[in-house]
Structures are given as C-alpha cells and as structure tokens.
Chain A
Amino acid sequence: MTASATLPEASPLATLEIDLDDLLEFRPGLLSLTATQISDGRQTWTLTPRLTLTHHDHAGVGTLELDDGERRLACWRYSMGRNPAALKFERAFNRQRDSLASGLPPPPLLAGICPICRGPLAPDEDDCPNCARELHTPPSTWTLLRLWRFARPYKGMLLAGFLLTLASTAATLVPPYLTMPLMDDVLIPYQNGKPLDVAKVGWLLGGLLGAALLAWGLGWARTYILALVSERIGADLRTTTYEHLLKLSLEYFGGKRTGDLLARIGTETDRINVFLSLHLLDFATDILMIAMTAVILFTINPWLALATLVPLPVIGWLIHAVRDRLRTGFEQIDRVWAEVTSVLADTIPGIRVVKAFAQEAREAQRFREANKHNLHVNDRLNRVWSLFAPTVGMLTEIGVLVVWIFGIWLITEGSITVGVLTAFLAYITRFYTRLDSMSRIVSHTQKAAAGAKRIFDILDHVSSVPDPAKPLVLPPVQGGIRVENVHFRYGNRAILRGIDLDIQPGEMIGLVGHSGSGKSTLVNLICRFYDVSEGAVKVEGVDLRSVAVADYRKHIGLVLQEPFLFFGTIADNIAYGRPDATRAEIVAAARAAHAHEFILRQPFGYDSLVGERGQALSGGERQRISIARALLINPKILILDEATSAVDTETEFEIQQALNNLIRGRTTIAIAHRLSTLRRADRLVVMDRGRIVEIGDHDELMAREGAYWRLYQAQTRQLDALPALGAPVEEMEKPA
C-alpha cells in the first residue's frame, strides 16, 4: 500500500482518462491499472485483496473511490460521459484483485457480452450498439438538399416539369426579341416616310400572340405538374415524420412539448410544401430567365449587355449580406411560434386545474407574454427585411437608368439602332423584376430550411430503444421473465440500482413500495419502453434488446391507472390491439371484463362513440374497456400499473373481478398502492429506492415484520387514523 514508483516493465492492463480534479475543475488525469498496481500519476497503490474500488454518481459527476476497508485512500472524479469507461476500469480492477487474492489467473471476459453494459453482442461486433449509440452528429446545414430523399420517387415528373419550365421560359423571351425588327424594320422606316409593310407587321404581331399563347400553355402544364409533385412530397414528408415519431421511445416524448411537435408536423411540412411548389419553382424559372436573357443580350450587343449586368453583383452581395440575419431570424420566429402554441397545448388539457385555481388571468398573461416575445422577434427581423425589398427596387431603377444612359450614347455613336435599345429595355425590365422576386427567395428558402431542419431533427433522432439490425426470433413466449442486475438512470438520476428478479411463467408478482421506489420504472423496462442502463431483461432467455420491439410487445397486455380511450367507437377501442378481431371476440372480451352490460346501456351499444378521454364514461367503465382491450390480444404477460387506484372501492371490486379473469394463466406483474388488492399475488416484491428489499408472499412477509409489514401497518393504521372529510384536522406543523 506504500507509494512506490511504477515498475517499468509493467504495462497497463486498463487505463481510465478522467477529466475532473478534486476541486471539480476540468483537468485531465489518467488512472492506470497494471497487474500489481493502480496509479493516478501522482500516487501508486499496490493491489491487495483488501482494496476495493467503488463508484457512484450524482448530478452528472461520477466518483471512483479506493479504500482498504478501513480508510478511503483516494477519490477520483469524472463527468458522466466517461461512466462506461469507468465501469470497465472498475471491472478490470476487480478481476485483477480477485485473481491476486485467489492466485488464479483472471477469468477471460465472456465473449459475446458487452463489457460495459453486459448486454449481448452480435457475433461480428466489437462495439455494443447500445453503448456506442450516443452519436452527436449535427444535421448538415444543407438540410434542404436532404429533401431529395423525398423527391426521388418523383424523378420522372420532376424532369418533365423542368423541361416544361425551360420551354415556357424560352417562350416568354420571344416577345421582346420581336420588338427589335418591329422597331427598326417597320416603325422607324414608316416614320421616315416609307410605306407600312403590312405582311411583316402581321407576321411580327402573330409571333407575339403565338409566343404569349405558347408561354401560357407551357406555364400551365409546368405549374400543374410541379404542384402535383410537391404536394406528394409534402404528404410523404408528413407521414414519414409521423411514422418515425411514433417509433421514438417514451424518453423522447417525455422531453418534448406536444404543441411543438404538432407545429413541426403540421405547419413546417406545409411550409416546405409551399416552398417547393411555389418559391423554388419561381426561383428555377428566374435563374433560367436570367441565364437565357444574358445570352440573348450578349449576342445582340456585348457592350450594352455588360452595362445591363453591372448591378447584378451588387444585388448578389446584398442578398448574401442579409441572408444570415434573416435565417437566424426565421429560426427564432419558428421557435417562438412553437412557444406560443405550447402555452395553448399546456393550458387546454389542464383547463380544469386552471379554472379550479382561478388562474385564467395568469394563463392569459403567459400567452400574452409569449405573443409579446413573438412580436419582438418579428419586429427585429422586419427591420432588416423591410429595408431589403425597397433597396432591391431602387437598384433596379438605377440599372434601368444605366442602360438608358449607355444606350443613348451608343445610338449617338451609331453603333446600335433604336430597336436594339427598345429590346434591351424590354428585356431588362423583365430581368430586374426577376431579380426582385429572386431576392424574395432568400427569405422563403431560409424559412423552408429552418422548417426542414426542425423536421429532420425528428427524423434524425434515433430511437433510444432501437430495433436490432439482425433481430433474433423470439421463441414461443411462455411468460418467464428474468431481470438480471438491472440498473437504470434517467438523466443523471439513478433510479434502479441492481435489480435481480426471476419471474416464472404464469406467476403473479405484486410490486409494492413507496412512490418513487422504482416500481413503474421496472415495469417500463420490462415493456421495453426504455432500455436498461446496465444489465439485461430477458424473456425466454433472450435479451429484449436483441428482438424486434413490436414482436415482443404483442405479447404484453397493459392496463394503466389512467385508461386512454381513442376517439372512436367502443368496439374500436376494445379491438385496438387486434383490429381484425371479430364482433364475437370483442363481445366475449367485454363480457370477461364485466364491461358488456354497461356497454349495452349506451345509446348505440358497441357502436357508441367515446371521446378523446372517454368523457361520457365513468372511470371504472373506462378501466373495464381497457381491460377488455388487454384481454382481447390474449397476452402472455400482463402488466397492471395501479389499475384500480383511480376508482372507488365498489368499482374496484368490479374491476377486480374483471381482472381475475384477465390474470388467469398469464404472467402478471401488478403495481398497486392498496396492498389489499395484491393479496392473491404468488410473490410480493418490495422495492425501496431502486432496490429490491424483500420477496415473499403476504403471510411470509407479514411474519418477517420487515419493510412490507411496515408498509402494511402504515396503511391499515392510516385508514383508521384518516380523518373523515369535514372532521377537524390537526393544525399543520409550523416551521420553526
């Protein structure tokens, strides 16, 4: 244990880079473990069987402590990003120390198991996909180009649209060209006394009309085809985003506000759609128009063409300069807008609470404030934006002036005719109006890009409960579940710390414990709503992470405290998990769930509509519908999460009867606050702060007089001591 120099020949078996020092300041450090020693660069300790390395974490900081059973020898800290590496280091240390103690060589690491999370590894993989998952690659700035993924299926139509654009743009460029001969060969000779060449006039005017009609027809076809395509792209985008969103884990939904997600899928996709069908199309036309016009102008007279194009770089620069400010502004507006809708999405579902506490004024104020913020951001952006368009307009006028000046000079020099100048002026008015509309594309592009980014934010989000690349086939499920050394961390809070539980097929397990003890989390992990941070949940000996999520979930029936009924008929709601169920099956499930009779009392029986939250039905009735729903899919594993705690005792009795039908022959995991409802459980698992503290049936646990007994006593005593409503209540303890 004495400090000594590291032996030169000892190469480290494991190293750990730490990034915090004793004062919790960011400073790199290195721990290394050799066959006989552990060192942190400043001090070295010789391994003895008595040394222990323990790790714990709090608020994003992990701590490794080295002690010899009596004294703490050292303490190292790191930020949680290094936790997997730290756990690996700890394991290496334990293996080495144990082998020193026993004199045997350290056991080889088991193949096919991730050294960090102990999850299974695919045979050809070294890195566990679960542990290497946290990739933080930001989406590219060229987000709009990524829309190509959605445009690809419509390649053919897009090509047709492009060719039509080309043709219709060319057609619109014919009329100014015809003004040249009209001026030089007809009008000016006539003014100078020559007779009017009627045939030529007829030809030229016919050409003008023909070009206009052609441009009209081609323009119509182009707009129609491209609008068709963009509408489809928009719809694909919307459905793909929604499909992806549905596959994301509960963790994602927990961190997002509903209003924000609604806005993304609704408004943003629509904005992209309009951008594609309208603005992008215009922009493409503009570019074509400018390129073609430039070519025509240069073939007529290169010098005058040059003068015409002089303001172009200036406008280009202006667009570029304003672009960045506009883009950030539009992104900000989107976020603020989401904030405004979020206030609504927060308040409307909670309207009863708002009214009950008479906080309407406060909520109105909150909305007003969000709107004020919105106004403020918009005002700031409009300051830039309002300056932008008139400036482009002014530059246009100056451009026309330049052409006039230069053109008049060239005419006096005799190098061009009046017809050429007229044609030029006709062209550049088109040309500059195009530039003006092109400058608008900047804002539209930025808006669409901001929208696309927010959509791709969803699409790029990888589910934190990913389906494995090569899912194993789940053997026929009997209902046996093994929970092996499961840890779970949510954010920086450790919620489960080392749960081991073996559940037999057909067994009924009751989970009890104070709220916050990790019961619901354990159930969520068994349903694979979340993935374990460490350890594994196995069904029929197969790790849940190695089978397809949907494959597994169809074996699970879930009855929650707050039954959620979708808008639709009662029959639809019962058949939610198995839409192909026959009417007879639905009725049978409803009968078993003791729901049949009250359903028949509804005006349209099974065809009665129930609302978003099933408002027309009582809590107990809704619960029995959700029990029927779980019964219908005939699951092997049944999970009851406080299924009876939201109802009164009498209703509970009815629900209990329904549940008894449901439980028969299935592995059941029930969470209940009222311990009396769990009397029938084969085993009760008592949890406390993320650990299992007791397992046994009711009588055993009562005899043991441990944690369960205390819970039970507290509850029965509470019931006796609970003051009746209206009875005088003891005064609240005053703070000292």
Chain B
Amino acid sequence: MSSAPRSAPFALTRNPMGRLVYVGADGGIHEGVVPVRAFALSAPDQGIALMSAEGRELEWIERLDGLPEDVRGLIAEELAQREFMPEIKRIVAVSSFATPSTWRVETSRGATELVLRSEDDIRRLKGPGALLIADSQGIHFLIRDRKMLDAQSQRILKRFL
C-alpha cells in the first residue's frame, strides 16, 4: 500500500503463547506489548503507541503505512482483537423509555442486547449525529450518525436524547 516501506527501527513478532514480542533499537526485549490508539475516536489511524506490559511507551508510530507489511499486519491483528466497539445499525426494541433500559440492537458485530443505565451514558461525539453509548458492562457502542439510522431507530433514540 505504502510507496516505500522502510524497515522499522524495531522488530515485532508473535510468540507461541500468542503475545507480541518487541525488540527495540537498543536490543531491549519486551513480551506482551500492546498497541494503543492515542485518539481512539477522533483520529484512530493517527498516532499508535506500543506499550509494554508494564504500561511504558516503547514506540510511537505516527502512521501505520510507514511500517513494513508484517509489522503492520501484526499491529492491525492485535488491534482488531483488542478493540471492541460495535456500531449500532438498528435499534430493534427497548424495554422501556425510562432507564435502566434494555435495548435490543443490531450491530456491525451481530445482534445483541445492551443495558443503558442512564441517559448520561450517551455521549455526543464531535461528528454530526455521532453518539457513543456505554452499556452497564462497560462496552461502548457507536452510532456513527443517528440521522442515518432508520426511522424507527431514530424515533426510539430521540426519546433518550
């Protein structure tokens, strides 16, 4: 994808235990490193940090496409396994318009139920009509643009805004 993938100043591999192993430019080895997006919501593709298991920043990656294919693949794979923010496509039904309310929703990751503890758990994001809904278990559900939902979902959603 990228024009000239230069070799990264560090090495990243996956060990048989399924953990990422980082070897820095100075030769330091860290097992179980995690990639973290710095702006998970507003700019997910800019600024990804590799954190050690102890929570120290090992590497700051400004953009993913500057990295060699295999490293980029490992990071994308690990991010995909860590990131869980189902996007709500449709609100099928809600148990009540008073909170706590159980919603049956169809998401980008399949149909599920979420429990909205209070209206305060719906956070307005910067984009037009973008909402982030935290359910009682701490899972965050994203609505990219509430105006793009179907009429019924919008009607239900409006009662909580």
Contacts and interface: CB of A to CB of B under 8 A. Distances in A.
B110 A27 contact: yes
Given A27-B110, A453-B98, A80 B137 contact: yes
Contact of A72 (B16, B86, B112): B16
Contacts of A72: 16-18
Interface string A67-107: 10011100100011100000000000000000000000000
Interface stretch (B22-30, B68-76, B114-122, B144-152): B114-122
Interface in B25-71: 54-55, 60, 62
Chain B's interface size range is 35 or more
A453 B160 CA distance: 13
Nearest to B102: A136
B61 to A, nearest CB: 11
B17 A67 contact: yes
A80 B135 CA distance: 10
Interface string A316-343: 0000000000001001100100000000
Interface in B69-118: 80-86, 95-102, 107, 109-112, 115, 117-118
A58 interface: yes
Contacts of B84: 20, 24, 59-61
A67 B102 CA distance: 36
Contacts of A26: 86, 107, 109-112
Contacts, number: 101
Contacts of A582: none
Nearest to A137: B100
A72 B14 CA distance: 11
17 contacts: A23-B80, A24-B109, A25-B109, A26-B110, A59-B85, A59-B138, A60-B137, A60-B138, A60-B140, A80-B139, A136-B102, A138-B99, A328-B97, A335-B161, A491-B138, A492-B138, A736-B62
Interface string A125-136: 000000000101
A75 B96 contact: no
B126 interface: no
Chain A's interface size range is 35 or more
Contact of B82 (A27, A59, A65, A491): A59
A27 B85 CA distance: 15
B115 A136 contact: yes
Interface of B: 16-18, 54-55, 60, 62, 80-86, 95-102, 107, 109-112, 115, 117-121, 134-140, 158-159, 161
A678 B83 CA distance: 41
Interface string A453-495: 1000100000000000000000000000000000000011000
A255 interface: yes
Nearest to A135: B100
Given A60-B140, A492-B139, A736-B62, A75 B18 contact: yes
A20 to B, nearest CB: 8
B142 to A, nearest CB: 12
The 3 closest A-B pairs by CB, nearest first: A492-B138, A26-B110, A60-B139
Contacts of B107: 26
A257 interface: yes
Contact of B98 (A59, A138, A689): A138
A20 B86 CA distance: 12
A81 B18 CA distance: 25
Given A136-B100, A143-B98, A736-B60, 19 more contacts: A23-B80, A23-B109, A26-B109, A60-B84, A60-B139, A61-B82, A61-B139, A65-B18, A71-B16, A72-B17, A80-B138, A138-B98, A141-B96, A141-B98, A255-B121, A332-B158, A491-B134, A492-B138, A689-B54
B138 A138 contact: no
A736 B138 CA distance: 35
A139 interface: yes
B67 to A, nearest CB: 15
B137 A689 contact: no
Contact of B161 (A65, A136, A332): A332
A689 B55 CA distance: 8
Interface string A36-70: 00000000000000000000001111000101001
A256 interface: yes
Contacts of A652: none
B83, B110, B119 — most chain A CB neighbours (10 Å):
B110
Nearest to B17: A72
A260 B120 CA distance: 10
Contacts of B95: 138
Contacts of A23: 80, 109
A487 to B, nearest CB: 15
A72 B134 CA distance: 32
Contacts of A65: 18
Given A24-B84, A27-B110, A59-B83, A138 B100 contact: yes
Contacts of A736: 60, 62
A139 B99 CA distance: 7
Nearest to B100: A136
A226 B54 CA distance: 66
